Structures are given as C-alpha cells and as structure tokens.
Chains A and B, each alone.
Chain A
Amino acid sequence: MTQEQAREITAQALKAASVPEVQISIDHRRHGFIRFARNNPSTSGLTLTGTANVTAWKGKRRASAVGAVDLANPKNAITELRALVKQAEQLAAIAPEDREYLPLLGPQKYPKVNAYDAATAEMTAGARAERVADAIREANQRKVVVAGFFEQSGTDSTVANSAGLFAYHRGSVATMSVTARTPDDRGSGYNAVSSSRVSSIDFKEIAAVAAQKAVASHDGKEIKPQEYPAILEPQAVADLIGNTLPGVLDARLADEGRSVFSAPEGKTRLGETIFDPRVNLYADPAHQVIPSIPFDDNGYPIHKVDFVREGVLKNLSYSRFWAQRNKRGPGPFLSNLIMDGAGTPLSKLIANMERGVLVTRLWYIRMVDPQQALFTGLTRDGLFWIEDGKIQHPLKNFRFNESPYRLLTQIQELGQTLPVVAGERYRDYRMVLPAMKVKSFRFTSTSDAI
C-alpha cells in the first residue's frame, strides 16, 4: 500500500464518520518466515494481513474497534474501514465519558527515515529456504544440531485522523536467529542478527558463531551462586535492558510512586545522576543501522531524544494526558534504543578481567519488585569463567535476581556496540548496545538447564 493509497483509503473512511473526532491506524504487512529444527525446515509460511484500529469520540465518550481489513483491495478496504468507524461510533455512544479526554492531535512533522528495502520485503519462499540452507550446511559441517527462525517482512503503517493528521511509514525487517546444540545436548550457543536489509545478513556466519558457542559451552562446571564481576555481551545487555527499560520509562508510574524512577514524597528522579557517567541511552528513529517507525500509535512524532545522558536521567515518557496534567509537552516516545559504547573489543574486555563470568544471553526475565526494578531470570546458551584475562572453562547456568538499573551504576568498562534484538520480544525493539563489564552481578542459584 503506497502512501497515496493509504491517504485515499483513510480519507474516504474518515469522510463517512458521523462524529467529529475519529482516528484510524492501519498496518499492511507481508510476512514470510521459515522455522527450522534438527537441521531441517519445520513450520513455514507467508501471511498477508491488513489490520485497522479505529477510535471514535462522541463528545468525551471514546471507544475503539479493531478488525482485519482487506488492504490489498482499496475498494474493500474503504468499505471495511467505514464499517469499523461505524462500530466504534456505536460503541462510543454507549461508553462512559473519558475523564482523560484530549482533543485529537493536528498535523505533525516527522523525521525522515529510510527503513525500506524492497528486496527484503518481497523475498520469495525459495530465497528464504536458500538462506536457511546456508546456515544448516554450516551446522552440518560443524557437527552441531541447529534450530532457528528466519523471518522477513514489509509493513506499511498509517495513522490518520479527522483533525488532519496523516503519518505514513514503510519499513522492512529481516531477522535470523540460530540456536546450536552439541549432538549430546551438553553444549548450547545462540546468535541472532536483524537488519532492514537482508543482503547485510551473513547466514553462514550466524550459524558458525552459534556453533562455536555450543562447542565452547560443552560440560559447564558448577560454581557457587553469588555476586561475581561480569562481562555481558551485547545480546545479554539487550535481553536485560531491552526487555525491561521501555516499560519503566513511563512518567505517570514514576509520579505515582510506583516505579524505580520514583523519589520519596511524590517526586521523580528526573535530573538526578542515577547511573555511571559513561551511560548514554537514547532513541533515534533515523538511526542508520536500526531505522524505526517515527511516530507512535496516535501519530505523535518520535524524534532523536536522550533518556539518559552522562548518567543523568534526562527524560521520562509523558502520555498526552499526563503531559497536560503536568503542564508540559507529551513524549518523548521511543521505537528503538541505542546505548553508546567505548569501542573496546570483547577480547580486550576479557583480557582486562582478573576473574569473573562472561554472560552471553539471558532468558525468562520477569519483574519481581517494580519499586527496585528487581528482575529474575537465567543465563542461557553459553556462560564462561574468566580468570587472568582468559576464558578458562564453561559454567553451568545461573538464575539471577538483579536490577538492570543497579548494573548501570556498576560499570567498569564498556565495549563495542552491536545491533541486537532481545530474545523474548525481539520484534518490538531493535537496539544498538555495547558489551558491558560490571563490578558485580547477583546470581542466586544454579540451573541444570543446557
């Protein structure tokens, strides 16, 4: 769906509205994927989906209707969108008044983002299978058993409303992830790469790295669970920070005393130095490596913005309602996440470490206490003991109970950055993050899982 088609479809649907305020957001997606396991393809597919979310306001009464829409055919799309508009209007008529009502956002300006590659968005089944075959061949040569997932998509996202706002973004993404296991199931390694351009992904190399980690992690030794100095590879930083940060940047939660960024007496920690001064965390939809959508679900623009600069908490995200309540502008919002590194290669971080653990991936991370931003989870797919600047041997996995925000105060050294995707929610946020060496990481028990 081109920008002009999106404009026409949404304009025609908005024209049919009988209430003054209607917002339409639509996604048109072509998604191809191939799953593989035991060095063979398993479930694979191609889905063509159109989804619309229509919100209507009758006075201050608000309701939304979501539905599948046949966006491949503009005539059908207009008919179906109009039906959703009608449904939302009917629901709004009987919904109670929204005490947090705000008028619709008017026309906005958005940063220019180059996130679309036709070769990535339109890949064929044969091309997908060939790329995966490259990875499987590498696994066979290295005598490991692989499971993995390759997906590619092209998505057109549009937000339009009756106050004249129109936002359109076209993006493509290709993501390949591989878990390699030794045939005796006593070693496991993982590697994943995501890009807007499939041509920049080296499928063979992804499998090779996962295989190396699987072999190196074979027969991990058990050591006592306790605090250890640690190096987190960028993947582990993504699993921990990427899984947890977007949810706790909400200003309202902090103002209401329910977040790690809350301060006593109803205040927040905005403006305070909360992390090591080397920590810079920001979002940038126009980032060259991880371009992302430059607007939120309501069409509010997303610009390059600092959340943490030199360790100081610079911004929390204000919804439009909460911003008005606090007499300030809404946002900033984020659709990707970048943390600056220091350019030190991983090998040098390891060489500089007297003793500690190397964490390559984290898993099943869940909030234990929001007030401390305390999370629990486990290491997975490669954990190693470092002594005298060298990896000495693999370790049995650990469970941790740790706050990523405490870790960001514990930094000893930052490494090179890599584009990474968080294992448990990788389709939501793409990130560029560095390896991190920290003074201590709290491990609380060992796990037999390999």
Chain B
Amino acid sequence: MFTRRDVLALAAAVPLARLNAAEKADRDRLADMAMELAKKAGADYADLRVSRYDNQGVFTRERQVQNVSSSSSYGYGVRVLKKGAWGFAATNDFREEALTQAVKDAIAIAEANAAIQTKPVQLAPLDKHSAVWKSAYKIDPFTIPIERKVDLLMKVNEAALATKGISFVSSYLRAVREDRYFASTLGSRIQQDIVRSHAQFNVTAVDRAKGDSQSRRSLMAPTQQGWEAIEAYPLVQEAAQAGEEAMMKLKAPSVAPGAYDLLLHPSHLWLTIHENCGHATELDRALGYEANYAGTSFLTPDKLGKFQYGSKWVNMKADRTQPHGLATVAYDDDGAPAQEWYLVRDGVFIDYQTTREQEGLVPGVKAHACTHADSWSSVVFQRMPNVSLDPMDSKLTEAELMDGIDNGILIIGDGSFSIDQQRYNFQFGGQTFWEIKKGKKTQMLRDVAYQSRTPEFWNSCDGVAGRAEYKLSGAFNDGKGEPPQSNAVSHGCTPTRFRGVNVISTGRTA
C-alpha cells in the first residue's frame, strides 16, 4: 500500500492543484500519478480513463418546443488488477487527494474481492499504443445554431400535421460528443473523439370515436456522423409520408395469423440481428457472467464451429472499424486495437465477441477488443461491436426477393421487441406492414408481429439482397450489465427474405 509520503513526493514532482480535464498535458500528468500510485500499492495492472461526454437535445411536439437541453459529464475512473481481482473507483473530483483516494478505493476493492476469488483474472498479452483518433464527420453538430434545429423540427411537425386526422407529432434532434482518454501501466496513452447524431419523430393518428390510435416513427438511424447526416436525410418528406401511413394504419385490416414469407427491410432487420445474433454471440453471456440480468445464450461453447445457426446465406460480421458504425473506435477500453471478424460464416457459428481477459476462456477463442464503458464512472466490461448481416457477393435485389413471394409481408421499421434470456424465442413488430401477393406489394396491414425461434428463423433465410441496398441502422441505448450501462451500436444489412415464419395478430382479439 502506498503512503501519504509517496503521494506528496509525486505531487511535488507534478504540481496538481486541480486538473483541467480538457487539457491533454493534465491528463497525462493525472495518468502518470495514477499509474505510479497503483503500482506502489501492488497493482499488477492499472488503467485510467478520463472522459467528457456532451449531449445536446432539442425536443418538440406539434407546434411547440418542449425543451432544449445540454448535458456534460466529465470525470475519471481508475481500474486496478491486484492478486487476480479487479477494483475500480471513479470520481469527478480532480484534486490530488481525490485521485489518491480513488486509487486507494480501487485497491481496497481488489483486495477484498481477491479474498473470496477462486479463479484469478488473467490478461492476454497486449502491446503499448499511443494514438489520437477522431471519428469520421464533416460538420460538428454542436456548431449548428439551436434556431436552425428548431426550424427543421417545426417543418417536420408541420409536414406530419398536414395530413387530415393526424393529432400528435413529437420530434427531436440529438448530438453526442465523447472525448475519451485512456492510459495504462503498459504505457499506452490513447485519445479518441467521437461524434454521433440522430433525428427522430413519431406521428400519431387517433380515432376517438373508436378509441383507437396508431403511430409511425421515422426510419432515420442514429449514426456516428455529424450534422451532414441530418442534412442528407429527407426528414420533412418522410414526416409527410409518415402522417399518411399512420392514417392508413388506422383503417388497415388486421393481419390474419398464420405462416408467411417475410421480406424484412434493413430499417427493421437491424434490431432482429441485434437481439438474435448480437447478444447471442457475447462470450460473457455464454459463460454465465450476465445470468443475473441480461441472461445467458443458447450459443454455448460446445456449439462453436459446428452449430448451423442459419442457412448458407447467413454471414454475420462483427466490426468495430466500420465507418459511421455507432460502436466504431480505434481502440477499445483495454487499449486494444479495434478489429473485424466473422461470428457466423456460411450459416455456421464460428466465433464470439470477446475482451482481453476472456482470451483462452474457451479454447481457441481470441480477444477481439470489445471492452467498453458508457461513462468515466462505469466499470468496463464486454460490449457489442457493430454486428451486421454481410451480403457477401449476392447479386439479388429487393424486387427479385419480392417476386419470389406468393403470400408474404414486407416489414419496414422496427417496433415492439422482446426475446428470452437465452435468445431463442422472440417476437418483433414494426412500423409499417405491407401484404405481398404473388410477388406484388398490395395493401397495408396492421397488428403484425412475428414470433419464432432464432435458429429456425435464420435457417429459413433464403435470400439476401446485394451490397447496393446495404443500410446501417442502430441504437444509442443498448442496455446490459449491473449497474446497467448503455451502448451505442449499429447493425447493417440488405433486404432479406425468410420463409414460412409464424405471424400473430396483436389486434384486439389477441
């Protein structure tokens, strides 16, 4: 354990009244002190994350602005490994006493846990890295005046309300900036800056006489880009279309339950990929580390390399390097370089999402740099990379896929979603549902949800459209862990066909 004298000696060498978290030099000094304190206290490994998170939101409904909000959060977390057990402490107090106390608290936790731990943590070898990286964006969304953002949302709302019968519309714009600094006792010093943007609206039509209401949300996906993504998306035109579609949904016939061929649009299928494959291929789940909350996985290690997860069309790729993917980084929160790899190849389950400490837990499974924390105050653990259905060399088109359907449904946009704790049984809704008869899109349907079992569903896949129709969607808020953490993640795919899927009606007779 370090002493007060050690701290004073360090402080004298590195004058540190209260550090400015925004200054790189101060971060390096904070890191030097933290690493030294941790080593003197007997840590076998330590890292420090200093981060600042900025969020801006403009929220409206109908013809009024509900709120303009700006949030910033900065602080640091120290993680130590001692006697094979982890300890972590975080604070937003940048005084030297607070840093000293944080290291002391982290060491105390590691020591307390080591006393009851029977299997010590082992870390895979990792090189030292020094890097500065910025996500790809053209226009910083924080530089766009609030008035311009409000103006856009008001146009969106007016476009939606222009359809007779539309009673409500809400909309928002969000901008996120993450300024993340990482240092470790390996000598790594990594600075990463990430920008994300999203616009969203929800249009609702109400039939008061019948006591019925139907909504249609925007299909715009959150993205790791700047304001240029908002400008490029036809939000106002989509709002007008959404108003009309919400009214159509009120009058549309309810689906007759039964088996249908499904043609799933990328704006819908991303969420199915996320729940069916994204979470199922997490090694921490497969080994029971998430059993108390998010659950485990049916893809247990004995299935690795031999389980037929899907048909030959199914190639699931994990990728933390994909441009504009929400989970894209240059280095993960262990300081390991981002990777791309296949989880499912030609339908066979072949690999997991993993972190540095998970290498070797399953024979042959390597570390894939999936360590992440959603805040300086959160403990890092294994989080999902971008996971996408790779169209490989398919030359099919959406039109050709539809042409091959006699009795089916085209589903656009994501809706209600629920899946069991081992990722077998699931039920998904959508935003709009279109009947397909003899290869032609005919009328809108409502109350559609499909219920299936993950391997059966993906083995019923018999066509994936080619790369020209590839789209990346995703979410800012994938929840996992205790205390719960939120992860931004994207999933890409093209229009994809599934045969004979069980569709239920969620209408009033359900």
Shortest distance in angstroms between A161's beta carbon and chain B's nearest beta carbon? 16
The residues of A that contact B377 with a CB separation of less than 8 Å are 47, 49
Interface size classification for chain B: 35 or more
List residues of B (475-510) whose CB comes within 8 Å of A's CBs.
Answer: 481-483, 502, 504, 506-508, 510
* Segment of B66-74, B181-189, B222-230 engaged in the interface with chain A: B66-74
Interface 0/1 of B108-146, CB less than 8 Å to A: 110111011111000000000000000000000000011
**In the complex, A355 has a CB within 8 A of chain B:** no
Q: Tell me, in angstroms, the Cα distance from A43 to B106 when the chains sit together.
A: 11
B419 on interface, CB distance cutoff 8 Å: yes
Indicate whether A132 reaches chain B with its CB closer than 8 angstroms: yes
Given contacts A35-B482, A44-B88, A44-B379, contact A147 B211 (CB under 8 A): no
Assuming the contacts A42-B289, A448-B425, asked whether A264 and B210 have C-beta atoms less than 8 A apart, the reply is yes
A47, B68: Cβ atoms under 8 Å? no
Q: Is the CB of A444 within 8 A of B451?
A: yes
User: Which candidate, B26-34, B89-97, B156-164, is the interface stretch facing chain A?
Assistant: B89-97
Stretch at the interface among B290-298, B320-328, B403-411, B433-441: B290-298
- Asked whether B416 lies within 8 Å of A147 as measured between CB atoms, the reply is no
Determine the residue in chain A with the shortest Cβ distance to B79.
A45
Chain B residues whose CB sits within 8 angstroms of the CB of A366 once the complex forms:
416-418
Closest to A39 in B: B118
A422 part of interface (Cβ distance < 8 Å): no
Distance A279 CA – B418 CA, assembled complex (angstroms): 28
Contact with A along B416-449 (1 / 0, CB 8 A): 1111111111010100000000000000000101
Task: Please tell me if B64 contacts chain A, counting CB pairs below 8 Å.
Answer: yes
Q: Does B167 contact A (CB under 8 A)?
A: yes
Contacts of A151 in B (CB 8 A): 482-483
> Which residues of A, 243-267, contact B by the 8 Å Cβ criterion?
256-258, 262-266
Of the residues B70, B420, B504, B508, contact of A380 by C-beta under 8 Å = B420
Given contacts A125-B87, A374-B506, contact A38 B92 (CB under 8 A): no
Q: Are A68 and B420 in contact (CB under 8 A)?
A: no
Question: Is A258 touching B204 in the complex (CB atoms < 8 A)?
Answer: yes
A377 / chain B contacts, CB cutoff of 8 Å:
418
CA distance A46 to B85 in the complex (A): 15
**Chain A residues whose CB sits within 8 angstroms of the CB of B85 once the complex forms:** 41
Which chain A positions have C-beta within 8 A of B75?
49, 68
Q: Which B residues are in CB contact (< 8 Å) with A33? A: 482-483
Question: Which A residues lie within 8 Å of B210 (CB)?
Answer: 264
Of chain A, the residue at the smallest CB distance from B101 is A48
Stretch at the interface among A70-78, A104-112, A309-317, A331-339: A70-78
Give every chain A residue within 8 A of B71 (Cβ-Cβ).
65-67
Contact between A44 and B417 (Cβ–Cβ < 8 Å)?
Answer: no
B204 and A96 within 8 A (CB) = no
B-side binding surface: helix, strand, loop or mixed? mixed
A38 touches B420 (CB 8 A): no
A124–B113 CA distance with the chains assembled, in angstroms: 12
A40 contacts B117, CB within 8 Å? yes
- Asked if A163 CB lies within 8 Å of chain B CBs, one says no
Neighbouring A residues of B312 by C-beta, 8 Å: none
Q: Given A38-B119, A132-B116, is A46 in contact with B105 using a C-beta cutoff of 8 Å? A: yes
- Closest A residue by C-beta to B113: A41
Chain B residue contacts of A369, Cβ below 8 A: 447, 506-507, 510
On chain A, the residues within 8 Å of B447 by CB distance are 369
Known contacts A42-B289, A66-B70, A67-B71; decide if A95 and B213 are in contact (CB<8 Å). Answer: no
**Complex Cα spacing A366 to B105, Å:** 39
The distance from the CB of A51 to the nearest CB of chain B, in whole angstroms, is 8
Asked if B168 lies at the interface with its beta carbon under 8 angstroms from chain A, I say yes
Chain B positions 278-313 with a Cβ under 8 Å from a chain A Cβ: 287-293, 295-296, 298, 300
- On chain B, the residues within 8 Å of A100 by CB distance are 64, 66
- Give the distance in Å from the alpha carbon of A401 to the alpha carbon of B447 in the complex: 13
**Smallest CB separation, B65 vs chain A (Å):** 5
Contacts of B4 in A (CB 8 A): none
Using known A-B contacts A45-B109, A258-B168, determine if residue A145 contacts B69 with beta carbons closer than 8 Å.
no
| Alpha-carbon distance A188/B421, docked complex (angstroms) | 11
Q: Could you say which residues of chain B place their CB within 8 Å of the CB of A401?
A: 427, 504, 506, 510
CA distance A235 to B281 in the complex (A): 29
Count, chain A residues at interface, CB 8 A:
98
CB-based contact B213/A45 at 8 Å: no
The answer to whether B63 and A99 have CB atoms under 8 Å apart is yes
Contacting A at CB under 8 A, from B29-66, are 55, 63-66
Q: Which residues of B contact A39 (CB under 8 A)?
A: 118
Given contacts A94-B147, A177-B292, contact A399 B168 (CB under 8 A): no
Using A48-B93, A64-B67 as known contacts, say yes or no to A179 and B424 having CB atoms under 8 A apart. no
Our pick among B55, B88, B93, B116 for the contact of A136 (Cβ within 8 Å) is B116
A449-B424 in contact (CB<8A): yes
Is there a chain B Cβ closer than 8 Å to A270's Cβ?
Answer: no
Chain B CB within 8 A of A421 CB: no
Contact across chains for A367 and B416 when beta carbons are under 8 A apart: yes
A45 near B292: Cβ-Cβ < 8 Å: no
| B462 CB → nearest A CB, Å | 23
* Residue in contact with B206 in the complex, picked from A37, A72, A258, CB distance below 8 Å: A258
Contacts of A363 in B (CB 8 A): 295, 420-421
Could you tell me if B206 and A64 are in contact, using CB atoms closer than 8 angstroms? Answer: no
* Bound complex: CA A51 to CA B74 (Å): 10
CB neighbours (8 Å) of A88 from chain B are: 70
B150 at the interface (CB under 8 A from A): yes
Tell me if B209 counts as interface (CB < 8 A to partner A). Answer: yes
**When the two chains form the complex, which single residue of B67, B108, B145, B451 contacts A445, counting CB atoms closer than 8 Å?**
B451
Whether B69 and A66, one on each chain, are in contact in the complex, defined by CB atoms closer than 8 angstroms, is yes
A376 surroundings in chain B (CB, below 8 A):
416, 418, 427, 449
Residues of B within 8 A of A256 (CB): 167-168, 206
Q: Are B67 and A125 in contact (CB under 8 A)?
A: no
- B453 CB–A CB distance under 8 Å: yes
Cβ–Cβ contact B482 & A149, under 8 A? yes
> What residues of A have a CB within 8 angstroms of the CB of B211 in the complex?
257, 262-264, 371
CA distance A264 to B208 in the complex (A): 6
**A65 contact from B70, B118, B422, B451, Cβ within 8 A:** B70
Q: Which residues of B contact A25 (CB under 8 A)?
A: none
- Highest count of chain B CB atoms <10 Å: which of A35, A145, A188, A447: A35
Q: Is the CB of A374 within 8 A of B292?
A: no
Interfacial chain A residues near B145, Cβ < 8 Å: 94
Q: How far is the CA of A257 from the CA of B211 in the complex (A)?
A: 6
Q: List A contacts of B204 (CB < 8 A).
A: 258
Is B212's beta carbon under 8 Å from chain A? yes
A-B contact pairs, 15 of them (CB 8 A): A38-B119, A40-B117, A43-B380, A44-B86, A48-B90, A49-B91, A50-B92, A63-B68, A64-B68, A70-B93, A125-B87, A257-B167, A378-B425, A399-B451, A449-B424
Extra inter-chain contacts (20) besides given A48-B93, A132-B116, A372-B508, CB under 8 Å: A43-B380, A48-B92, A62-B67, A63-B68, A65-B72, A66-B73, A68-B72, A73-B95, A91-B70, A181-B288, A185-B296, A263-B211, A264-B208, A264-B211, A368-B429, A369-B506, A378-B418, A401-B506, A445-B451, A449-B421
